[in-house]
Amino acid sequence: MKFKGTVVKGLGKASRVMSTSAVRKVLHTNLHEEVFPGTFNVLVDIDPDMFDQPYYEGFDVEQRAFYRLRVVSPKEANVWLYRRPASKMSPRVLELISRHNLHEYLGVGAGSTIELEYEGAWTKTERADFINSRKWFQSFGFLPKDKIRTDSNYVLNMLDLGNVWNKTVLDVGGHYGFHSIALWERGAVCTMVEKNRDSVDTAKHIMRSFVPADVNIIRGDFRKQQLPKSDVVLYLSVHHQIDPTYENLPQTLDFLAKSVGSVFCFEDIIPFGGAGNADGFHHELELRFSDVKYLGKYSHAIRGTRHIWKCYK
C-alpha cells in the first residue's frame, strides 16, 4: 500500500534516547545497521493501526516496536517505523529511523510531501504459496528442507570475509539476494545488481516479508551500470550464465576491478567437457589483483566443478 505524508518537526526526545549506548546496542543487534540518532517525522492521513505486527517478533526497545517501510519519493530509501506507546506525538505522526539522515538524504524539510509504501506481514498460507512458486538455488533459513538444493553458506564460509560492519559490499548478479542479506545481517552496507526481473521481485519479497534487510537493489545488466566503488565485490557463479565460452572474461574483470576497493571474490563453473579452466581463471585474476588466493573447489552434480578465489587489490 502506498500513501503520502507531510514532513513535520519532532520534539527532540527521540534523538536523545537513540543516542544512549544501551538503545544503540539493541538497535545494532536487531536492525543490523548503524542507525542515525534521531527520527524523521511524517504526518499521514491513514489509520496508524493498519500496521499489523512488527518484524523480528518480540523485538522491542523499552516497549517500542519496529516495522519496515519504504520511502518511494522523492528518493527511494528503506526505513523503520518506530512505534512507542508513551509518545507525546500525534498517533498520525510516523517516527521513522534509518541509516541515513533522511532530511539530508531525501533533500526535504518541514512541510515537504513524501510518498511511502508499506507491505504488511504475510500469513502462513501466503508465505507457503510464495515458497512453492519459486525454484530455490540459494538456501535461505526460512525454507523447508525439501526446498533446499544447495548450501549457500558453504561459499560464504570459504570466503571468510571477517568483520564487515559498515563495509560496503557490491553483489554482482545476486539472484535472490542470499549473500547480500547474509552480509547485511553482519552489518555490511550492501548493493545488489541483478538483471532478471523475477529474481529482483523475489529478492524484494524476501526482504520485505521474510528477512527485512536494507539492501539497495539495482535491476539491470551490470555491464551497463555505473557501479559504486565498494570494499568488497562479489562475482559468484555468474559469468558462465552470460558468457558460456568465457571469451569476454578479461573485459568483464577489467570492468569489475574498477569497483573493487579492497577484496574481489570470484566463483565460476568449469562445465563437464566445456570451456574455461582453473589455471586460465587464476592467470586472469593475477593480471588485475596484487594477491590472488585460490580457496578450493566443489562439485556440482549437473553443471561441473565450481572454483572459488579471493583476491586483494
pLDDT digits (tens, 9 = 90+) for 28-60: 776 777 788 888 999 998 876 776 555 544 455
Contact 202, 134 (CB under 8 A): yes
Helices (H), the chain: 13-18, 21-31, 102-106, 124-132, 152-159, 178-184, 197-209, 239-242, 249-257, 278-286
Neighbouring CB atoms inside 10 A of 3's CB total 16
Q: What phi, psi does 207 have (nearest 5°)? A: -75, -15
pLDDT of residue 58: 41
**Residue 57 DSSP symbol:** T
Give the model's pLDDT for residue 22: 65
| C-alpha cell read off for 177 | 539476494
Enumerate residue ranges in the chain where pLDDT < 50.
56-58, 272-273
Q: pLDDT value at position 153? A: 87
Other beta carbons less than 10 A from residue 204's beta carbon: 17
* pLDDT (0 to 100) of residue 56: 45
Task: Locate CATH 2.40.30.30 in the chain.
Answer: 2-117
2-117 folds as Elongation Factor Tu (Ef-tu); domain 3 (2.40.30)
Q: Which of 185, 182, 261, 181 is nearest to 216 (CA)?
A: 181
Q: Where in the chain is the domain with CATH 3.40.50.150?
A: 126-312
Is 126-312 in CATH node 3.20.20.150?
Answer: no
Distance between CA atoms of residues 67 and 85, nearest Å: 14
Give dist(CA 303, CA 300) in Å, integer: 6
Burial of 155 (0-12, 13-18, 19+ CB in 10 A): buried
- How far apart are the C-alpha atoms of 250 and 22, rounded to whole Å? 49
CA distances (Å), 255 to each of 93, 107, 118, 172, 252, in order?
Answer: 46, 32, 37, 12, 5
Pair 185, 212: CB distance under 8 Å: no
Q: What is the pLDDT of residue 67?
A: 78
pLDDT at 277 (0 to 100): 74
Per-residue pLDDT, 21: 64
246 half-sphere exposure, CB direction, 13 A CA radius? 14
pLDDT at position 309, please? 96
Which of 159, 175, 191, 162 has its CA nearest to residue 295?
159
Measured CA to CA, the distance from residue 185 to residue 153 in angstroms comes to 13
The residues pairing with 233 across neighbouring beta strands, listed in sequence order, are 170, 264
